[in-house]
Structure formats: structure tokens, C-alpha cells
Amino acid sequence: MLNRVLGRLSARAAGATAMLAVLSGTASAVTVPILVADVDSGRVIYSQAPTDPWYPASITKLMTTYVALDLVRQGRASMDTLITISPTAAAEPPSKMGFKPGTQLTLGNALKIIMVKSANDVAFAIGESLGGSVDGFATMMNDSARRIGMQDSRWTNPNGLPDPRQWTSARDMAVLARALIREFPDQHDLFSISAIQFGGAVIPNHNGLLGRYPGADGMKTGFICSGGFNVVATATRNDHRIVAIVMGQPSPRERDVKTADLFDYGFGQEASGPSLESLPASALGAPPDMRPYVCGGKKIPAIEEGPGAVTASGPTAAQLLGGAAATSPALALAAFSSPAMRGRTLPPRAPLQPVAVWIGRDPGEGQRILEQQVAEAKAAAVNARTARLEAAKSRREAALAKRQAAKEAAKEAAQAHSAQAHAAKASTKAAKAGGGSALPHAATAYTSTEAPAMPEAKPGKGLANGPVKGKAAAHAAKPAGAKPAATKAPVKPNKKAAKAEEE
């Protein structure tokens, strides 16, 4: 497990290194690996870059299947051995079946699933269950690869998910294909299943040649951005079986059409080339990263199709479009050099013939488990819906309470404002009502409306400046602010009062 984690952590750094090599000019173009060989003799019919290292993606599952079948042959496992989906296996990214942790299925069903659905979770579980751990199973993969003559392969996981330390070559995959066919003839049908049926679901094989190219009978496809679209394919015609390996293609359609052209070419040739084992080693020390070619990049370099790639035109194009056997490797590869050829597709697929797979020990147990899971899923859905409705109801009630509180607060504020306004109005009204009876500051309650006239002083007595006479004396005796007295008849002086005043 530690090796696997370290491998995934270093994947990004390794990819960046490969990309820098391409952009710096040390690798101006990439030659994708292609190989056609005779299954019986192991002789090479056509090849380009056959031993170059390449990221295998899900064609790794052929190696996983070989190790599993070898364990069955040794009696260390059986097709009924139960494979358990661990939490780690269940967490593997797609493509996957999505089984819950703890789910069990037989090895036979697991192998059918990884050959058709290419399920990463199931392949991972096979490795854990048969090898004790993924690292232990990877050791078994490498030991088996060396034993059957695979010279260029390094394996670290059983499903082919990206790992910069895991690679293979077209030659090694041809060696593996021959070993599977020759050593396990009873499992021949495992590689040609057109579809599986799990419960009510029918899942077709990713191999687009099955049911579309006459005689196609295997084996496995694979794709990751760093490796492009790969395929290990076999086909039989007149008891002559050939294997074609095509790697690094930009789309599954181009991969399938190119492989069909290579089959056409291969069936028209004698298997007189070198043996797979004698092919010279590659000068490359690591696989190129195809991510900028396949999954995007600011500047995508051209992909070399290898020696003999020519532009198809005229009769050659018509010949390839018509599906006739190509007469040279150049014609077999020319379909992807001409814009007129890039729209080619294979014929429609023949009707699928699904093979049933199940979880558990047998179909009955599998059906019971599925029914239980369906019931649990429905109950969970009902509970989730009820929880959502309750949460929505709580939110509505909280919003209603908030609006009601806001309304009450607004009402209280309005009442308080109205009371203040009423009090202010009443105060103003009271002030206006009492304004007419207000007394002047100079007036008192004891002020007489008619002040008595002051008697005239007698000359020479009591005044410093002498006596005041006439109206001037009367005017001087008036209080300040007093209204002029009404004219009345003269009052006869009171001699006693005058005398008292003088004293």
C-alpha cells in the first residue's frame, strides 16, 4: 500500500518531466506502439516502436486475469473463491461497479466484470483478496510476467489506474495475450463477452471491435490521459488467429478503425517476421506522457504513425473505405493521415448477448442481497425526503415567526409613536388654551386698575429741589406703566393725610 501511495504522489512530477522533454525539443514527436503478430507462431507481422515503454491503463487487467487464472490452476484459488470489496477498493475512481464495502462476489464473476465493465473497484478487490494486499499481488504480477517472457513490464497495481512506475510495451502485451490463449483455452469465452447483465442493468463491453469486426474475439481496452486509448485485440479467420496491439490513440473510434485495418492487413500476410522475443530493446527509459496529445494542451505536437505512414487518396482511400484487406503497412495506417478518412466508423454492433453476473455465492443469494439493498435504498430515500420536508417546514415556521415578530415590533413602534404624537398634540393644545389669561410680567394681582391721584406737595416742604406744581407734579407721581387716569372732578385735598405724609 505504501508503494502505491508513493507512486500516486510522484505521478504529477513524472508527468511534468515528460512534458518538459517534449516542449524543450528533446522529443519533437511521439511514435505510438503498434504490433501485429500471429498467435500460434509468435511471429511478428508488423510493428512500430514495439518495445517502447507505455502506460497500459486498463489493459493491465489482462495481467490481473492471468495471475488469477494461474492461482486457480495451482489450486490456490477457485472460480468460486469469494472476493470482498474493501473500503479502499470501493473508493477507487471509475470506471467501477460501485459496490458497497463488504460486498462479496465470486472470482468468476469478478473476472467477467473486469473484462467487460473494466471495473477498477473489482480489480482492486481481486488484488487484495488473492494477494493479501495490492503490493503483494503486484509482486505476483511481476513474477508471472518474467516467467512468461515479458521483458519490458513493471506492475504496481491490478487495475491500471495512473502510476508513473507502471508500464509495459506492445511486444509484452502480445506475449501476455498468447499466454492467456494458449495456457487457458477453457477460459477463451472470458475475453469475448459482448455484455454482462447485473440485476436489471445490461453493460456492454468497451471493446468496440466485438460484434462489429468479423472474427473479433477479444481481448481488452484501456484508457488514461497519459497513455491514450489502448487495445489488445484478437481475431480469427479460417483458423488463423492474430493479435493486434494499438496504443496511444486520441479516441476509441480511431483506435478501433485502425485495429480493423491492421487485422485486414495481417490476415493477408504470412507470419514470417521475427519472433516476439527477438525484437530489440527500446532506447527510451520511460514512457512519454500523452496527456497533451489526448486530453488537451496549448500546443499539441503531431503524433508520428511510424514508418510508412502516407496520405491516402484515390483508389487507396476507396479500398480502405470499402474494407478490403490492405496490401502494406502504409495502407493499413493511412486512414488517419487523410481528412477524408477521419470520419470512418465500423459497422453497427451485432445484438448483445449478455452474460449474467451476481454478487454473493450464487444467483439466489445475489437476488436476495439486491432486494435487500433496494429496500434499504428506498427506505433511505423516504427518510431523506422526510428529513428534507421537516427541514423545509422548520425553515418556513422560523421565517413565519420572524415575520410575525417583525410585524409585532412594527405595531408596537407605531403605537408608541402615536402616543408620543398625541401627547405632544395635547400639550400644544393646552399651551394654546392657557395663553389668553397669562399675566404681563409687570402686573400683579394687587394692581388696581385706577391708581389714586397723589396729592400735591406743599411748597417748600419735603422736596430737595423745591415744589412741583400743576400737571407735572401729578405726572411724576404716576407709577411706571400705569394707564392715564380718566379725567374726573378735582378731589378736595385731605389736609390730615397731607400732614401725615409731611411728617
The string of DSSP letters for 369-388 reads HHHHHHHHHHHHHHHHHHHH
| Digit-coded pLDDT (tens) for 393-407 | 999 999 999 999 999
The CA distance from 34 to 50, in Å, is 6
What is the structure's pLDDT at 493? 52
The CA distance from 343 to 67, in Å, is 39
Report the Cα 142 to chain-centroid distance in Å: 34
What is the structure's pLDDT at 325? 34
Length of the chain counted residue by residue = 503
pLDDT value at 267 more than 80: yes
Mean pLDDT of 352-374: 94
Mean pLDDT of 83-97: 97
What is the structure's pLDDT at 482? 47
Mean pLDDT of 91-116: 97
Per-residue confidence at 15, pLDDT binned at 50, 70, 90?
A: very low
What is the structure's pLDDT at 373? 86
What is the structure's pLDDT at 430? 83
Phi, psi at 243, each rounded to 5°: -120, 135
What is the structure's pLDDT at 339? 53
What is the structure's pLDDT at 297? 62
H-helix or E-strand spanning residue 174? helix 170-183
Output the pTM of the full model: 0.69
| Digit-coded pLDDT (tens) for 301-357 | 545 443 322 222 222 222 322 333 334 444 444 444 445 446 678 899 999 999 999
| Digit-coded pLDDT (tens) for 165-206 | 999 999 999 999 999 999 999 999 999 999 999 999 999 999
The CA distance from 222 to 82, in Å, is 26
The CA distance from 233 to 190, in Å, is 13
Asked if residues 66 and 114 have their Cβ atoms less than 8 Å apart, the reply is no
The CA distance from 220 to 439, in Å, is 117
The CA distance from 494 to 497, in Å, is 5
What is the structure's pLDDT at 442? 52
**Which of 310, 370, 321 has its CA nearest to residue 344?**
321
- For the chain, how many helices (H) and strands (E)? 14, 12
Q: Which residue has the higher pLDDT, 13 or 346?
A: 346
Beta strand 228-237 with 240-249 is antiparallel
Copy the grid coordinates of residue 137: 499481488
| Digit-coded pLDDT (tens) for 211-266 | 999 999 999 999 999 999 999 999 999 999 999 999 999 999 999 999 999 999 99
pLDDT value at 34 more than 50: yes
The CA distance from 425 to 414, in Å, is 16
Q: Residues of the chain with pLDDT > 70: what percent?
A: 71
Copy the grid coordinates of residue 233: 485485440
Range of lowest pLDDT (3-7, 278-282, 415-419): 3-7
What is the structure's pLDDT at 282? 96
CB-hemisphere CA count at 13 Å for 437? 5
Asked if residues 144 and 70 have their Cβ atoms less than 8 Å apart, the reply is yes
Mean pLDDT of 124-153: 98
C-alpha dihedral sign at 33, 38, 41, 47: negative
What is the structure's pLDDT at 80? 98
Phi, psi at 406, each rounded to 5°: -65, -40
The CA distance from 157 to 58, in Å, is 11
* Residue whose grid cell is 421565517: 399
What is the structure's pLDDT at 425? 86
Range of lowest pLDDT (151-155, 270-274, 357-361, 391-395): 270-274
Asked if residues 288 and 14 have their Cβ atoms less than 8 Å apart, the reply is no
Phi, psi at 46, each rounded to 5°: -155, 145
pLDDT value at 132 more than 80: yes
Mean pLDDT of 152-172: 97
Report the Cα 434 to chain-centroid distance in Å: 82
The CA distance from 372 to 162, in Å, is 35
What is the structure's pLDDT at 456? 55
What is the structure's pLDDT at 79? 98
pLDDT value at 427 more than 90: no
